[in-house]
């Protein structure tokens, strides 16, 4: 392993001079000739700065941490993709950690905090009281699913719009009795109600159970005095399960009932019929979170980022003529 002093010796200069040149901080004046000699020596010896040494001296590691809920599934992986892209552009590396529960979450926080990373991006899965302590220790950026969390900078998708878009679309297609699973998120409900207000005679039927699967939701819907004509779930999985459940019960989607999901997962293309869903811009979410973190690391002022979801029309909603 070539070290900086190898380079310096070879170039016939002092260690510090070599350091100044390698780091091309314009601060220190170094003669053009010496500069060239050092650079040449560095390439000849195939020199790569040792990050451990640099980190120790500088207190900066050019690494960012990310703590995510178990990343099975495409949701998190697309966010990560966006994150990685920005960070790599800035020649930062990403250290990845995942957690399965709150305990593990804090464990990983501590793990990363001890690693002297320059910043941390976290995506909490649970209700996170506070992270102020961590935030004071290093720049932090939040990736929240929808509703914002205290004063830490964050990137999120506009949760208000998700169900607004879905319900508005259903109304436009003539539906008036709509079953909704909100997963306990008040924003989701508000969005739906905002859309419902625009049209007269709409009935939103709220499924209280946030963890119901597709079969459960469908059976609940069918048991209503006036069964809904459309089902809006809180995630694509439930929606996909609901389609499968309908199939098993001899019902046809969208002829007998319409379904609309949330997230825009890849498998929306694979259900029969293909699942109409509210797409969340996940890659962008990661990308923006990375940008925000880099800005904070450099000490800039930052503003939260709120991204807009959109509706991707497929085949699971039918038009009801009235």
Partner DNA sequence: AATATTTAGTGAAGCGATTCACTAGATTAA
Partner DNA sequence: TTAATCTAGTGAATCGCTTCACTAAATATT
> Residues in the site for its own copies, rule: CB under 8 A?
1, 48-53, 55-56, 61, 63, 70-74, 76-78, 80-81, 84, 88, 91, 93-98, 108, 110-111, 113-116, 237, 240-241, 243-244, 247, 265-267, 269-274
User: Judged by CB under 7 A, does residue 49 bind DNA?
Assistant: yes
Q: Is 58 in the site for DNA (CB under 7 A)?
A: yes
Residue in the block written with tokens 């070879």: 10
62: DSSP letter: S
CB 38 within 8 A of CB 31: no
Q: Which of 24, 44, 53, 308 binds DNA (CB under 7 A)?
A: 53
Token pair for residue 6? 């190898």
Instruction: Give whichever of 149 and 237 is closer to its own copies, judged by the CB atom.
Output: 237
Tokens of 273: 């019929």
Residue 14 binding partner per list its own copies, DNA, none, with a CB distance cut-off of 5 to 8 Å that depends on partner kind: DNA
> CA-CA distance, 192 to 128, in Å (whole number)?
25
96 binds, among its own copies, DNA, none (CB under 5 to 8 A by kind): its own copies
Are 115 and 56 in contact, with CB atoms under 8 Å apart? no
Q: Which listed option, its own copies, DNA, none, makes contact with residue 94 (CB within 5 to 8 Å by class)?
A: its own copies
Angle between helices 32-44 and 4-11 (to 10 degrees): 130
String marking each residue 192-211 x if it binds DNA according to CB under 7 A: --------------------
Is there binding between residue 5 and DNA (CB under 7 A)? Answer: yes
Query: Which of 146, 142, 134 is CA-nearest to residue 83?
Result: 142
Residue 274: CB minimum distance to its own copies, A: 7
Residue 9 contacts DNA per CB under 7 A: no
Alpha-carbon distance of 146 to 102, in angstroms, equals 19
| Three-point CA angle 212, 215, 220, nearest 5° | 70
Instruction: Supply the minimum distance, in Å, between the C-beta of residue 258 and its own copies.
Output: 15
Is beta strand 119-122 parallel, antiparallel or unpaired with respect to 63-69? parallel
**Is 4 a residue that touches DNA (CB under 7 A)?**
yes
The nearest distance, CB 214 to its own copies, in angstroms, is 9
């Amino acid at each position: 392993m070539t070290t900086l002093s190898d380079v310096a010796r070879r170039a016939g200069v002092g260690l510090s001079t070599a350091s100044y040149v390698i780091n091309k901080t314009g601060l220190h004046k170094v003669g053009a000739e010496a500069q060239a000699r050092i650079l040449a020596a560095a390439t000849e010896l195939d020199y790569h700065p040792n990050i451990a040494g640099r980190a120790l001296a500088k207190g900066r590691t050019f690494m960012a941490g990310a703590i995510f809920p178990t990343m099975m599934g495409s949701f998190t992986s697309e966010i990560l993709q966006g994150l990685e892209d920005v960070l790599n552009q800035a020649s930062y590396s990403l250290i990845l950690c995942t957690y399965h529960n709150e305990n593990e979450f804090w464990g990983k926080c501590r793990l990363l905090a001890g690693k002297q990373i320059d910043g941390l991006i976290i995506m909490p899965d649970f209700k996170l009281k506070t992270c102020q302590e961590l935030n004071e220790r290093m720049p932090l950026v939040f990736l929240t699913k929808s509703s914002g969390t205290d004063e830490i900078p964050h990137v999120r998708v506009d949760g208000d719009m998700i169900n607004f878009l879905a319900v508005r679309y259903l109304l436009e297609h003539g539906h008036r009795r709509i079953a909704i699973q909100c997963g306990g998120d008040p924003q989701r409900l508000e969005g739906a109600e905002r859309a419902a207000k625009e049209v007269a005679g709409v009935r939103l039927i709220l499924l209280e159970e946030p963890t119901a699967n597709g079969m459960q939701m469908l059976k609940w819907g069918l048991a209503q005095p006036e069964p809904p004509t459309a089902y809006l779930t809180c995630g694509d999985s439930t929606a996909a399960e609901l389609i499968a459940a309908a199939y098993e019960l001899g019902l046809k989607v969208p002829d007998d009932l319409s379904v609309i999901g949330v997230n825009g997962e890849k498998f929306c293309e694979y259900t029969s019929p293909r699942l109409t869903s509210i797409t969340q811009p996940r890659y962008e979410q990661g990308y923006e979170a990375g940008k925000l973190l880099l800005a904070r690391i450099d000490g800039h002022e930052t503003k939260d980022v709120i991204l807009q979801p959109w509706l991707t029309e497929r085949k699971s909603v039918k038009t009801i003529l009235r």
